[in-house]
Amino acid sequence: MADKDGLKVAKDYQTGVEFSRQGGFYVKGAQDLDWGMKKHLSNIFDPKSGNTVMFAFDHGYFMGSTAGLERLDLIIPPLLEHVDVLMGTRGALRTCVTPDCQKGIALRCSAGSSMIDDDLSHEVIAVNVEDAIRMNADCMAIQTFVGADGQKSSLDNLCKTVDMGMRYSIPTMGVVAVGKDMERTPRFFKLATRILAELGANIIKTYYCDDFEEIVAACPVPIVVAGGKKLPENEALTMAYRSMQGGARGLDMGRNIFQSEYPVEMAKAIRMIVHEKATDKEAFEFYTNEIHK
């Protein structure tokens, strides 16, 4: 049994060396998955750039009517053209997104807490795999709470979802939660992202931080960076650019799109960084020009 006192701090991440097992498929770590899994992943990650722009609007599952998401039926349609994947709950998708939508679906499948709770780390699997199939989900998103009181149960939720996903060829996205009392350090994110990948998650959603290149190098599946709290547009675009430069395979933006005064223009600017290799300065210049037309 490993013991903490005997562990060495790993330092040689070889960040300049590409992941060695790409095989014949372009999504990191997916070379040995079956056809159905790869099909779902290709609905998430663009075959040309290998990257993805996700639009997260699942905040209501624990926050209620979040500012900017008061009317899902109004905010989502104008953004559809400019994102690759919709990350939402089954209730929001069924009521506010038309079924002829051709976008990838990241289905929020964990729940059980609300902003009324002091501790948000106690969740359950809230969507069974049969309904994920009915929703034509391209991945099932499970929130995990490494280092929190609910760590064990949330990792159990992840493992059970991975098992269900493998049975029916639906990828699992492990989401790294950061609570008010949890670390937000490179050491924490290295730990959390690696644990989720080792437990079988096919995609990891986490936050950008210092030494991000090392976090990406140590994780054998694609990392998608969460937008987090609302930032000024230029700062959000800089974070997006640094994330992609650091090896992220996409961004899952929520508040930095739907709480922007110009959400469509912001989504377009994010897309430039993710798919067209634009710099943050180029993307912000585009955004500024768009809003002043």
- The residue behind tokens 């395979």 is 249
Annotated catalytic residue: which of 28, 38, 190, 205? 205
Classify residue 224 by burial, with Cβ atoms within 10 Å: 0-12, 13-18, 19+.
Answer: buried
Contacts of residue 254, defined as CB under 8 A and 6 or more positions apart, other chains included, come to: 55, 56, 57, 58, 59, 87, 226, 227
| Whether residue 205 lies in the annotated active site | yes
What φ, ψ does residue 253 adopt, rounded to 5°? Answer: -95, 135
CA distance 260 to 231: 9
Residues marked active site are found at 205
